[in-house]
Amino acid sequence: MSGFRETELYGPVKGFLERQGFAVKGEVADADVVACRGDDPPVIVELKVGFSLSLLHQAVARLAITDAVYVCVPRRSGRIASRSLNDNLKLYRRLGIGVMTVRLSDALVEVHCDPGPYTPRKSIARRGRLLREFARRRGDPAQGGATRSEQVTAYRQDAISIAAHLAATGPSKGAAVASATGVAAATRMMRDNHYGWFERLSPGLYALTDAGRDGLTRYGIARMPPPVNTQGPELGAS
């Protein structure tokens, strides 16, 4: 894409619109592409080498002239490019602005969304997850804007409670941990061991790992001394 210019998009877009019966001209009153067809409102297309805040500002400004406003960028391949396109489509749909892309290898023009009012469907499942997480949080442990690794979710709060109990009491049965901490899923959480904090010593018996002790320190729980071995000396130990 080195040395690419916005003018390379003009030919494919002009041809695309002309095949639909529009008369097309470039750079009219600061608009990159203007297309007219009979009594239809004029179509304006703003061309850019990629999505940007400048492109968004230009497209919004053109809405003062016509509702039929599109932006057009090159179509790129790859996972990151696909994610960027999808994210920007959500934004431009919200604003009622259309999105086109041009595949430079063969000048293929693709319309991903047309201008017009847009009301996204609400996700009942995602709202439910948000409200359940909100309800499960104890207090307000995470500052807004924290990175994912800094966030203290309800799940992590439960893991901290389990780890603190094991640090204080030593190896414990899952049922005892659940009863002492109020974390009903304690056994499953120690078995799944997503954070590497727990170690299974025998069926149903779990202990805290060094990673778990570090986790308690990281999240503001004082480091506890290593638990006393409650299982008795190993065979052959002196």
The whole-number pLDDT of residue 139 equals 73
* pLDDT per residue as tens digits for the range 152-173: 888 999 999 999 999 999 999 9
Look at the alpha carbons of 26, 70, 50, 77 in this order and tell me if their dihedral is positive or negative.
Answer: negative
What would the pLDDT profile of 34-57 be if each residue is shown by its tens digit? 999 999 999 999 999 999 999 999
State the SS3 of 33-48: EEEECCCCCCEEEEEC
| DSSP H or E run through 109 | strand 108-113
Distance, in Å, from the CA atom of 226 to the CA atom of 214, rounded to the nearest integer, reads 12
pTM: 0.58
Residue 56, pLDDT score: 93
pLDDT class of 178 with cuts at 50, 70, 90? very high
The structural domains of the chain, with segments of one domain joined by +, span: 7-113, 149-227
pLDDT of residue 77: 85
Query: Please, which pLDDT band fits residue 222 given cuts at 50, 70 and 90?
Result: very low
Helix (H, G, I), strand (E, B) or coil at 22: coil
Please check whether the two domains, 7-113 and 149-227, share a CATH topology.
no
Domain 7-113 has CATH 3.40.50: no
pLDDT of residue 228 exceeding 70, the answer is: no
Fold classification of 149-227 is: Arc Repressor Mutant, subunit A (1.10.10)
